[in-house]
A = this chain, B = another copy of it.
């Protein structure tokens, strides 16, 4: 295995270096060939590193940046103010070939705008999409996109999302092509809005996507589809609603067992399988949404990610570097575009 380099925006997220630095150290332990470039405030990063006895880690380099992009900054403003910021410099490292991927838990709109500006889209890509895997009932995964990078889309854009999602999903599948579905408010052909109906008609004619029809919100976790496509508004609401419900259950469960130490012990004995299952539904396990369609790998972590969750986001970047995702998407899109034209 050759060396891998990930550029980490150490200032992004609700907790900044308090979470990003321990996650970086954890990721270096997990991936022996990983190199990390940490972009951010040198003194804040060094304080964290020394408390972890990792000041001189051979595979970690700190690059001082004098400011960070705030969470409330508009994308257009972020573009103007980005020079020298931790997010911009982490993306520049990818654009200039110093890193293979960028990970940030910062402002999503700013990350999308800066990523498009620095890395550019792959040939033929109209708009990059934010994608993440969600767990399915059968123990598998379903890739859901777009998760909020594009608040409104046309049918062509959704079609491209289907192609890009398919390429990502097939890296983890063997024996059959990924089943692609559109998220809709009914399973019958007549249901839905014009956008979904137009895209359904395009997908059902395409030889490049194994389109299986519509899925509804309650089927997202059934494992009926490997890739589920929707616009960014719907995808974001759906993913965040899932997180809300999952956290409600996890909290109820924790509360029921935490008040009484003996109950807790018995609960652990009774429900060890359930604890594992519930943990597997914890949104943090699936942290790390990828921006697909760019000439480089960019992974967006939850702003509220804890150390384990951010480590998972870095893991996602490593995974995509090894699988050369941007090159594979580019090849497939070229093929799809050629097929449409001839």
Q: Which of B185, B217, B218, B271 contacts A267 (CB 8 A)?
A: B271
With A185-B148, A271-B256 in contact, do A220 and B234 touch (Cβ < 8 Å)? no
Interchain nearest-CB distance for A90 vs B (Å): 22
Q: Are B190 and A74 in contact (CB under 8 A)?
A: yes
Q: Which residues of B contact A278 (CB under 8 A)?
A: 249, 252
Q: Are B233 and A217 in contact (CB under 8 A)?
A: no
Q: Which of B190, B234, B245, B277 contacts A245 (CB 8 A)?
A: B245
Q: Which residues of B contact A270 (CB under 8 A)?
A: 256-257, 263, 266-267
A151 within 8 A of B: yes
Q: Are A244 and B217 in contact (CB under 8 A)?
A: yes
Q: Kindly state the separation between the CA atoms of A111 and B161 in the bound complex, as whole angstroms.
A: 34
The count of residues in chain A whose C-beta lies closer than 8 Å to any C-beta of chain B is 58
Q: Are B273 and A256 in contact (CB under 8 A)?
A: yes
Q: List A residues 210-265 near B (Cβ within 8 Å).
A: 216-222, 230, 232-234, 236-249, 251-253, 255-257, 263
Q: Kindly state the separation between the CA atoms of A240 and B220 in the bound complex, as whole angstroms.
A: 9
A335 within 8 A of B: no
Q: Kindly state the separation between the CA atoms of A256 and B256 in the bound complex, as whole angstroms.
A: 16
Q: Are B221 and A245 in contact (CB under 8 A)?
A: yes
Q: Which residues of B contact A219 (CB under 8 A)?
A: 244
Q: Kindly state the separation between the CA atoms of A278 and B137 in the bound complex, as whole angstroms.
A: 19
- How would you classify the secondary structure of chain A's contact residues: helix, strand, loop or mixed? helix
Given contacts A148-B186, A217-B242, A245-B281, 17 further A-B contacts (CB under 8 A): A72-B190, A74-B190, A137-B248, A137-B251, A185-B236, A185-B237, A185-B240, A192-B233, A217-B236, A217-B237, A218-B240, A221-B248, A234-B237, A237-B237, A242-B244, A248-B281, A252-B281
Please name 24 pairs of A and B residues whose Cβ atoms are closer than 8 Å in the assembled complex, sorted by A: A72-B190, A151-B193, A152-B193, A185-B232, A193-B233, A217-B238, A217-B240, A217-B241, A217-B244, A220-B241, A221-B244, A234-B234, A238-B241, A241-B241, A245-B245, A245-B246, A245-B249, A246-B249, A249-B278, A249-B281, A252-B274, A257-B271, A266-B270, A267-B270
Q: What residues of chain A have their CB less than 8 Å away from a CB belonging to chain B?
A: 71-72, 74, 109, 137, 148, 151-152, 183, 185-186, 188, 190-194, 216-222, 230, 232-234, 236-249, 251-253, 255-257, 263, 266-267, 270-271, 273-274, 277-278, 281
